[in-house]
Chain A
Amino acid sequence: MRRIAGALIGVCAYASVASAGPGDSCAVAAHLVHADAALPRVAAAIKAKNLKVVVAGTGSSTLPGANGAAAAYPARLEEALQKKLPDVKVTIISLIKSRQTAADMAAEFPKVLATEKPNLVIWQTGTADAMRGVSTDEFQVTLEQAVGKLRDGGADVIFVNPQYNPRSDAVIGTAPYAEAIRWVALGNAINLFDRQAVMRQWGELGTFDLLAATKSLDTAANVHECIGRLLAHLVIQGLAVNGGEDQKDKKSQ
């Protein structure tokens, strides 16, 4: 009963924030960027005025060239988040290396947790695994286990799924991996930044021309700017969500 009431409250809260998007230029339908789970460790860090975020990911979390990293979404997220939390010290630590599979990154996490003590890990994954043909089952088990360790180590988790790219769809099927990510997110009360759906909508609305063949970084930088801002929006939204994996576990005991 309480759970149903919680769901109803969730729906009402959802309806009311629908219009509070981050700036018009990045606008997507509100349900595409929507916090479904609480971020208790982030909330505690914000109270302590010091928020450390690790972004773990592969090539699609950065941009090529000398200014690539500064234009990519982790840096944009840092700026956007700092703006939203003016009296908190926001630090983003980048753990980005091309071609890392989920298992590669998961192997790095214990060290990162020990040295950096992040409050939030934004985990972009799926593409490298799809390209290497890691079994989706194995991929999912890796995520499940890593998520538990990250939380025990004091970090909330936000998943970022593969990019939308209709061209590479012809060769690599990221869809099953995106699905695996969604399942782990659902099963463990983790927020998912559905980059695939967001970018698809940008493509459909004509916000960005994602298919132009170009060497220029302009569109790519704008896309990453928007991803950074939407991610910041998601983090702030997550702070307002009540209940999470901890409360849920208590309830079931």
Chain B
Amino acid sequence: MPPSVSSGRDLRLDLFRGLALWLIFLDHIPSNIVNWITIRNYGFSDAAEIFVFISGYTAAFVYGRAMRERGFIIAGARILKRAWTVYIAHVFIFVIFMAQIAYLTTSLDNPLYSEEMRAFDFLQQPGVALIEALLLKFQPNFMDVLPLYIVLLIAFPLVLWLLLHWPIVALVLSVALYVAVQHFYWNLPAYPTGTWFFNPLAWQLIFVVGAWLGVGGADRIGPLLRSRYVVGAAIAFLVLALMVVMTWYFPRYAVLIPKKVQDLIYPIDKNNMDLLRFLHFCALAILTVRFIPIDWPGLKSRWLRPAILCGQHSLEIFCLGIALSFIGHFVTSEFSRSILMQVTISALGILIMIAVASLITWYDNVEGRGSGGRSKPSQADLAGGEA
């Protein structure tokens, strides 16, 4: 007997995914002053964890129901169709990237940067670069999240099946793979050399944990997560993390962290999702669940509506955000690096994301798809709570 899925839509997921999308957009404009507000500056984890976790949760929620109602084949086909859509989106982003690069190379010549110029060497063999990009091996800067997502989705039919039938086995396998990766450094190959920035074999852990919570795990460990001790431990962990992170900005306080502790915690690896990053995310999630209940009236307020709308159309808004961050980076580096410009670009980008999300919602409503979780089962794939 598969575990039950709690009904009704959890707007908190949309809210935080929307916020994560904004943060990812901001973080992808290098040397942007507004970056300072993003969470990666105050702890170990960042928006990537939030995005992957919530994607896992909603994927399990949407496709888990489909798999129970219509079977493995239908749900599996839907998941793969979704992976295909994400793949197309990735290729689209790559085209935008190439357009930007083609422009940049005309203005790159400077003896100061003869070394960095070599980063553009792939343009001498654009055919190879294109094919490698289509194979997901060539992942230029900041084009590394969607490939991770595609791989996770391709494996998801089997993972979801396992989660519905033997959830504990699925979790144990996921943890075992994660541990093995930390030990053996398994990763997928990248072009021209090296490995994937977001190692799917490690990052699957947070996706699978999210998915497990999405198909009933949340009901099981809910009371534990709300316990006073767990919440206290989460707060303590976040405070400690904040203190450690502060020493990165004020290196002269680094001596306050005992050498033994430093040896233990550094490096905090993003490629393989260091355990500290995972724990930091868990602590954030625990506090969120504890202090923002599912029926919190604020979730219905119009002030949070923009973030929720963006979170409900995550793939479109994610791609838009990447494209906008290319443009924003382009404008801030080529025309004006003033703080006013950085703030304007950041605000404008988020406004565009909100506007497009509203437009998609409006269109969906006109087409009768609705944006809630109550759409017809046959359209679960198109529902707002998209994986």
Give me the interface of A with B, judged by CB distance under 8 Å. Answer: 3-4, 6-7, 10-11, 14, 34, 36, 58-60, 63-65, 68, 98-99, 127-128, 131-138, 140, 163-173, 175-176, 180, 182-187, 189, 192, 200, 203-204, 210-217, 219-220, 223, 248-249, 252
Contacts and interface: CB of A to CB of B under 8 A. Distances in A.
B252 A137 contact: no
A175 B111 CA distance: 22
Interface residues of B, number: 59
A172 B259 contact: no
A170 to B, nearest CB: 6
Nearest to A138: B185
Nearest to B189: A133
Contacts of B248: 182, 186
Given A172-B116, A186-B262, A135 B195 contact: yes
A30 B247 CA distance: 18
Contacts of A132: 192-194
A4 B256 CA distance: 7
11 contacts: A135-B187, A138-B185, A165-B113, A167-B116, A171-B140, A183-B266, A185-B251, A210-B112, A215-B109, A248-B255, A252-B260
Interface of A is mostly: helix
A134 B194 contact: yes
B110 A135 contact: no
- For A170, A214, A249, A252, which residue has the most chain B Cβ atoms within 10 angstroms? A170
B337 A220 contact: no
Contacts of A3: 255-256
B115 A36 contact: no
A186 B247 contact: yes
A189 B101 CA distance: 39
Interface of B: 30-31, 97, 100-101, 104, 106-120, 140-142, 185, 187, 190, 192-195, 197, 247-248, 251-256, 258-260, 262-263, 266-272, 326, 329-330, 332-334, 337
Contacts of A128: 115
Nearest to A134: B194
B116 A163 contact: yes
B270 A60 contact: no
A135 B272 CA distance: 10
Nearest to A245: B259
Contacts of B267: 136-137, 140, 180, 183-184
A63 B110 CA distance: 10
B104 A10 contact: no
Given A135-B195, A136-B269, A170 B111 contact: no
Contacts of B259: 187, 248-249, 252
B30 A137 contact: no
Given A14-B252, A211-B334, A65 B111 contact: yes
A6 to B, nearest CB: 7
Contact of B329 (A64, A166, A187, A192): A166
A166 B38 CA distance: 20
Contacts of A180: 267
A170 B116 contact: no
Nearest to B111: A220
A213 B337 CA distance: 17
Contacts of B116: 60, 127, 163, 165, 167-168, 172
Given A211-B334, A249-B259, A64 B111 contact: yes
B270 A136 contact: yes
Given A63-B111, A133-B190, 4 more contacts: A65-B111, A163-B116, A166-B332, A169-B31
Contacts of A7: 252-253, 255-256
Contacts of B193: 132-134
Nearest to A131: B119
Contacts of B195: 133, 135
Q: Which 9 A-B pairs have the closest CB atoms?
A: A133-B194, A59-B115, A166-B333, A168-B116, A220-B112, A173-B141, A172-B119, A169-B30, A171-B119
Contacts of B256: 3-4, 7
Contacts of A140: 267, 269
Contacts of B269: 136-137, 140
